[in-house]
Structure 1
Amino acid sequence: MNDDNSRALYDRALSVMPGGVNSAVRAAIEPYPFFVQKGDRGHVIDADGNRYIDWVMGLGPLLLGHNLPESVQAGIQQNASEGPMYGTPTEIEVDLAEFVVRHVPSVEKIRFVNSGTEATTSAVRLARGYTGRNKIIVNQGGYHGAQDSTLVEGDVESVAPSSAGVPQSVAEHTIPVPFNDEDAVREAFEKHGDDIAAVMTEPILANYGIVDPDDGYHDFLREITDEHGSLLIFDEVITGFRVGGLGCAQSEFGVTPDLTTFGKVIGGGFPVGALGGRAEIMEQLAPSGPVFQAGTFSGHPVTMAAGLETLQFAAANNVYDHVNTLGDQLRSGLADIVADQAPEYTVAGTDSMFKVIFTRDGEAPKNAADVKNAETDRWRRVFWGQMKAQEVFLSQNQFECQFVSYGHTEADVEETLEAYKHAL
């Protein structure tokens, strides 16, 4: 497999971009990433003409695949042709807001922003402003974007920044606890309950392998936050409009948070984020309330059109049936392969998300530490390259999720399962 053009492009990139990339995870591929030239349904073609089955799907946003349906493409092109952006409201952002409010249980009002990081940053600020408290509880290994408040590691007893540039004084307001650990959450509330503004969690840990919640875990979080006057925030940047269909993961689990953050699918492949929740809380955002939030590109008309057309197409064309059925076929086939060839590994995922976790004991991970203790180096340094050599593009490390799109086919699933057989 020739990769001369990708190698040359990476050499150029190293001279002008830190690490040769614009997002750190893209450099996880060694010795260098391949550069994509274009997408085709459930595939990508790189700068050297190599074609791969793509299970990364832009790290999640591409629910419909790389070839957008004609109606979706037309809506995007119409808004792009009428002008890039205006600095004033447009009808299309109202249309998308109404669609989300109709379908997502927790959302009475919504504010569109430009990334998942911006959405979670705004959610933390809003929770603090609404409650008058400072501290937030997060899950160890949960990812809430590149923001100071959640780039924190440790436990109830001791915390520290997980990135240079984050002050210790900021980290001290964040309390990391293991996912699925009710006792750790209780301990945090016993020590700091009067100053905990919110618990922020992904409904499913989806950026650290894939870790499902224990039965009743989210119900517990709902109860304890209510008891202490704190907010419950679901970070659905990854799961939103992918798990649980148009109702998102919260509808699947039957738990309604106070605030929900969105990204990825809600923008149809364009840069986006959003924050939604109870009206009385959302009204605390400027200009209605004292919590400042603003953005030049927020509610960008082309992104709003892409998001609305994507979700409307999904609603009208059985998109979720298609992607979830293929997801079931992948996980079932992978479970058979793992049972036969690597019984110490586990298959994780739900709906259109999937991953093989290189666990050491055949037990599904219950928290981030279980995933971290898996054979992560083997996954990245050996297995990933073996899959690439068979023209299957998987996420760049053991931790990132993988996604099925409307552009994938049963043939893609079968070819991928054969590749797993050889690579494992």
Structure 2
Amino acid sequence: MHHDESRDLYDRALSVIPGGVNSTVRAIDPYPFFVQRGDGAHVVDADGNRYLDFVNAYGPLLYGHDPPEQVQSAIQSYSAEGPMYGAPTEIEVELAEFLARHVPSVEMTRFVNSGTEATVSAVRLARGYTGRDKIVVMRGGYHGAQETTLVEGEAGHVHPSSAGIPAEFAQHTIPVSFNDPEEITHVFERHGDDIAAVLTEPVLGNTATILPVDGYLETLRELCDDHGALLVFDEVMTGFRVGGLQCAQGKFGVTPDVTTFAKIVGGGFPVGAIGGKAEIMEQFTPSGEVFQAGTFNGHPVAMAAGLEYLTYAAEHDVYEHVNRLGERLRSGLTDILAEKEPTYTVVGTDSMFKVVFSRRGPDDLTDQCDSGCRQRADCPRFDHCPKNGADVQAAETNRYERVFWHEMKDEGVFLTPNQFESCFISYAHTEADIDRTLEAYDAVL
């Protein structure tokens, strides 16, 4: 492969875009390849190189780069009629009705423009509804570029993780370790009367794809109920990917008070949403006192794309197809690692997957989880597999980013470029694509 065009484009970008990219995660050493177009399960870069795409725009592209005809028609129709109006449209009502029919926690929805906007608004809503200030988050979780959650440290010793955030902001955030019921129980014992909400991804998708251990989400639900706090699930990534139309909350059987969405809910267009119980959601203005507004909220094209995206999934075998391929890929990876890198861990669920370059593993792999870590207590990997963000941080992150990712790219496979971001399978992928991907993993590892 040659990358002359991408190199030249990056050189130009450095002169007019900070760091040459518009999102930090796209910064790849020595430079990223620039995508020219998508084609089904593939992307083609500016130099004509073709890659199997498992990034899928970091999750929104459930159908890959060729959405169903009814989705394309809806997008074209709403674009042709006028892209937006600054007034309500029927399509936003229809999408809100769809969410209320299918997602356990949702009675009402407010549409915004990104996952970050959704989580910012959800935090404000929780504080306004409860009259409290403190928010509990998971270390290694990600909730967009917002001041409340860009923090690090231990409870009582928290500081911002980015320049530009006043230190005082972090004092209202309490980070805890995912999958540690004792730690969060202790936090509620100390601060329960001041906690407005626990904000967590039900699956830590921005930390490789870590599943909850048995009973952990139930513990969060019970603690919030006992102390009058809200349980907020960030399903920006898992929404309408894990658990099908009921999302991860349906898969795990734990219903939050509020849920945030983005990515798939907008059919690949910029979108975000906050959904929850009517009693809570009606605290948003104009019915309540928690201010929330936006020029592009409920953008008709995004609403149409999202509704048709989800309607097609409801009427076809979309989830059966992508989840079957996910199982096939994770099973194949498990077999490859058992032979070549037995300390590494396959993680993921449904159509999400990742290989964590974990440094330690059991001596005997007999009866290990056979298609990705399930946090099964009787699995021989249980004491070694990642349980939280710190466990993934302790993996061979440099080996993944500086060696493995580049060699997979040279094999024609486009994966998320760091150890932390999940990878995604789309409806456009085939069994042959999965087999080819396994061959690439086998060759590179």
State the shift of 1:355 in Å: 0.3
Aligned to 1:22: 22
Alignment of 1:7-406 (within 5 A): 7-27=7-27, 29-362=28-361, 363-406=384-427
State the shift of 1:210 in Å: 1.4
| Contiguous gaps of at least 5 residues in structure 2 | 362-383
* CA distance in structure 2 between the aligned counterparts of 1:208 and 1:256, rounded to whole angstroms: 22
Which 4+ residue blocks in structure 1 deviate beyond 4 angstroms? none
Secondary structure class of the residue paired with 2:140: coil
Whether the 8 Å contact between 1:5 and 1:48 is mirrored in structure 2 is yes
Deviations 1:159-218 (A, max 9, x none): 010111111110000000000111111121122111100001100000011111010001
Secondary structure class of the residue paired with 1:225: helix
* CA distance in structure 2 between the aligned counterparts of 1:247 and 1:217, rounded to whole angstroms: 19
Whether the 8 Å contact between 1:152 and 1:174 is mirrored in structure 2 is yes
Deviations 1:237-279 (A, max 9, x none): 0000000000000001101000000010001100010000000
Whether the 8 Å contact between 1:285 and 1:293 is mirrored in structure 2 is yes
Aligned to 2:444: 423
Secondary structure class of the residue paired with 1:148: coil
Secondary structure class of the residue paired with 1:234: strand
* CA distance in structure 2 between the aligned counterparts of 1:305 and 1:385, rounded to whole angstroms: 37
* CA distance in structure 2 between the aligned counterparts of 1:422 and 1:184, rounded to whole angstroms: 42
**Percent of residue pairs bearing the same amino acid type:** 68
Secondary structure class of the residue paired with 1:260: strand
Whether the 8 Å contact between 1:6 and 1:48 is mirrored in structure 2 is yes
Q: Does 1:411 align with 2:411?
A: no
Q: Does 1:3 align with 2:3?
A: yes
What letter matches 1:300 in structure 2? H
What letter matches 1:20 in structure 2? G
What letter matches 1:24 in structure 2? T
Moved more, 113-122 or 149-158: 149-158
* CA distance in structure 2 between the aligned counterparts of 1:227 and 1:245, rounded to whole angstroms: 30
What letter matches 1:12 in structure 2? R
* CA distance in structure 1 between the aligned counterparts of 2:130 and 2:66, rounded to whole angstroms: 45
Deviations 1:56-81 (A, max 9, x none): 00000000110111111001110010
State the shift of 1:30 in Å: 1.2
* CA distance in structure 1 between the aligned counterparts of 2:400 and 2:192, rounded to whole angstroms: 40
TM-score when scaled to structure 2?
0.95
Moved more, 32-41 or 188-197: 188-197
What letter matches 1:374 in structure 2? A
Secondary structure class of the residue paired with 2:148: helix
* CA distance in structure 2 between the aligned counterparts of 1:98 and 1:62, rounded to whole angstroms: 22
TM-score when scaled to structure 1?
0.99
* CA distance in structure 1 between the aligned counterparts of 2:83 and 2:243, rounded to whole angstroms: 33
What letter matches 1:341 in structure 2? K
Secondary structure class of the residue paired with 1:347: strand
Secondary structure class of the residue paired with 2:117: helix
State the shift of 1:158 in Å: 1.1
Whether the 8 Å contact between 1:156 and 1:184 is mirrored in structure 2 is no
Aligned to 2:379: none
What letter matches 1:338 in structure 2? L
Whether the 8 Å contact between 1:135 and 1:197 is mirrored in structure 2 is yes
What letter matches 1:55 in structure 2? F
Once superposed, what is the RMSD of the aligned Cα atoms? 0.6
* CA distance in structure 2 between the aligned counterparts of 1:394 and 1:312, rounded to whole angstroms: 28
Aligned to 2:372: none
* CA distance in structure 1 between the aligned counterparts of 2:107 and 2:85, rounded to whole angstroms: 26
* CA distance in structure 2 between the aligned counterparts of 1:260 and 1:153, rounded to whole angstroms: 23
Whether the 8 Å contact between 1:141 and 1:208 is mirrored in structure 2 is yes
Whether the 8 Å contact between 1:264 and 1:273 is mirrored in structure 2 is yes
| Contiguous gaps of at least 5 residues in structure 1 | none
Secondary structure class of the residue paired with 2:178: coil
Secondary structure class of the residue paired with 1:356: strand
What letter matches 1:395 in structure 2? T
* CA distance in structure 2 between the aligned counterparts of 1:234 and 1:383, rounded to whole angstroms: 32
* CA distance in structure 1 between the aligned counterparts of 2:189 and 2:294, rounded to whole angstroms: 38
Whether the 8 Å contact between 1:156 and 1:187 is mirrored in structure 2 is no
State the shift of 1:157 in Å: 2.8
Secondary structure class of the residue paired with 2:417: coil
Secondary structure class of the residue paired with 2:395: coil
State the shift of 1:55 in Å: 0.2
Deviations 1:313-355 (A, max 9, x none): 1111110000000000000000000000000100000000000
* CA distance in structure 1 between the aligned counterparts of 2:331 and 2:358, rounded to whole angstroms: 18
* CA distance in structure 2 between the aligned counterparts of 1:102 and 1:317, rounded to whole angstroms: 17
